[in-house]
Structure 1
Amino acid sequence: MTETPATPAHPWPHVFEPGDPGTPVLLLLHGTGGSEHDLLPLAPRLSPGAGILSPRGPVSENGMNRWFRRLREGVFDTADVVARAGELAGFLGWAREAYGLGDRPVAAVGFSNGANIALATALLHPGELDRVVAFSGMYPLDAHPVDTDLAGTRVALFNGAEDPMAPQDSVERLTAVLQSHGADVERATHPGGHGITADDVTAAALWIGRAGVVR
């Protein structure tokens, strides 16, 4: 595993591993309070041999790493979400050039806050990110307009039916917005709350193998 610290080329600390030829690159996006190392153990379970690109969220909330600011629990600073989604799209564009990824498929895998920034980026910048596995994610853009064409975008949503941090009405809205703009959406709901279950991982691995690497 190659860990790349902050450099003048890009200020986000991140981990990059090229993986095996012919595999996708998994863009791993941690949850609140996590780091670029949190989701690394998940990668081989989702796509053995895949490349790994795992950055650290650039926002600090009381010392916890996040991807964007929030006003309070469950209430996002939408303007910051939009700005940070642009930054993540820029990071991905930078990584494609810096690491010679070319048109190699990239699938974002995010948990909680990481899922939300992945979803926001896919909604606003589908040219940079059009494959998302979102664990415990929700609709991240509130009233901000979405006018992108998401035909060709594929999203897999894994949520808990009793998750107070990602309520089902927000997941329903997310699904409706994605589909109304042409995205292909698959959903799986487990009976628990906020988290990633073993069944979620198994289903996500099948989804990546089926949809995440095919353009």
Structure 2
Amino acid sequence: MSALDTSTSAESVKVTITEAFPSRPLDEIRESADRPLVLLFHGRGGDESRFVPWIPQLPPEYDVIRFRGPLAYEDGYTWATPVTPGAATVPGVSYGDGAAAVEKWLDDNGLDTPDRDISVGGFSAGCILSFQLLERRPDRYTTVIGLSGCISPENAVSPGRADSPTRVFWGIDPVGDDFLTSDRLDATRTWLSRFDTVELHYPNTGHDIRAAEFADVVAFLKGSGSRP
């Protein structure tokens, strides 16, 4: 896995990550490049507490960092300026801007080193951000976890498979989740076809996360693949 290249480092960053919540002191994580690192991103209007109930399920050898979105939104935070459906342009802060802010935070904190195994994952808007991170750097992340989300409208869908070692877990309720319209599902499936992707369905979940889904996430992170 490659470290942050100079073109990304030099990129103008519109927003800054100011709140991150590591499972151990950052100095200890920085010095433990042999331990897998998982980055988690909440949905729009939520915050870093979204994943607290699930953290104990992760293997103890994993380090985890939960991030708070850089933009205030309703009673919580988000990663990009909300886009009006059908809008031709993305105003304000895009998901690309949010992803650049995450990349800069990792680089500034000495965590984006070539020998470090990094996985990213998120719920809803956090899923969109995770997919945007993968779009920008398809050779960087070991695993990407997308829960109840889709690709960003700013993502360009490239034909064919990407030359990427990344494994992707996409957990959705394609019938009961009103956020995941047929257009969003189709576009995301086309984009994910470039990667080694497992798509799992969780009926009657709606726009949420269920315990069984996160158990599958843990198995996927551990390399066990999808459930039978």
Q: What TM-score, normalized by structure 1, do the two folds share?
A: 0.78
Matches within 5 A, 1:119-158: 119-142=131-154, 144=156, 149-158=162-171
AA at the equivalent of 2:56: P
One of 176, 183, 186 as aligned partner of 2:190: 176
Alpha-carbon distance, 1:27 to partner: 0.4
Moved more, 15-24 or 164-173: 15-24
Distance in 2, matches of 1:89 and 1:11, equals: 10
Q: Is the 8 A contact 2:47 2:76 kept in 1?
A: no
SS of the aligned residue for 2:39 comes to strand
Residue 11 of structure 2 is matched in structure 1 by: none
Matches within 5 A, 1:1-215: 11-18=17-24, 23-72=35-84, 77=90, 80-95=94-109, 97=110, 103-142=115-154, 144=156, 149-161=162-174, 162-180=176-194, 183-192=195-204, 193-210=206-223
**Structure 1's 77 and 211: CA in aligned 2 closer, same or farther, altered over 3 A?**
farther
Distance in 2, matches of 1:134 and 1:47, equals: 19
Q: Is the 8 A contact 2:119 2:143 kept in 1?
A: yes
Distance in 1, matches of 2:76 and 2:202, equals: 27
> What runs of 5+ residues in structure 2 fail to find an aligned partner?
1-15
AA at the equivalent of 1:184: D
Alpha-carbon distance, 1:89 to partner: 2.1
Q: Is the 8 A contact 1:123 1:146 kept in 2?
A: no
**Structure 1's 51 and 71: CA in aligned 2 closer, same or farther, altered over 3 A?**
same
**Structure 1's 46 and 160: CA in aligned 2 closer, same or farther, altered over 3 A?**
farther
Distance in 2, matches of 1:26 and 1:65, equals: 20
AA at the equivalent of 1:77: V
Alpha-carbon distance, 1:53 to partner: 1.1
SS of the aligned residue for 2:94 comes to helix
Q: Is the 8 A contact 1:74 1:165 kept in 2?
A: no
Structural RMSD (CA): 3.0
Percent of residue pairs bearing the same amino acid type:
21
Distance in 1, matches of 2:197 and 2:75, equals: 34
AA at the equivalent of 1:64: G
Q: Is the 8 A contact 2:42 2:68 kept in 1?
A: yes
Alpha-carbon distance, 1:77 to partner: 3.0
Kindly name which structure, 1 or 2, has the bigger radius of gyration based on alpha carbons.
2
> What runs of 5+ residues in structure 1 fail to find an aligned partner?
1-9
Q: Is the 8 A contact 1:175 1:185 kept in 2?
A: no
Alpha-carbon distance, 1:152 to partner: 0.7
SS of the aligned residue for 1:37 comes to helix
Alpha-carbon distance, 1:102 to partner: 5.7
Distance in 2, matches of 1:137 and 1:201, equals: 15
Q: Is the 8 A contact 1:17 1:52 kept in 2?
A: yes
Alpha-carbon distance, 1:22 to partner: 5.1
Q: What TM-score, normalized by structure 2, do the two folds share?
A: 0.74
Alpha-carbon distance, 1:64 to partner: 2.8
Q: Is the 8 A contact 1:24 1:106 kept in 2?
A: yes
- The number of residue pairs the alignment matches comes to 199
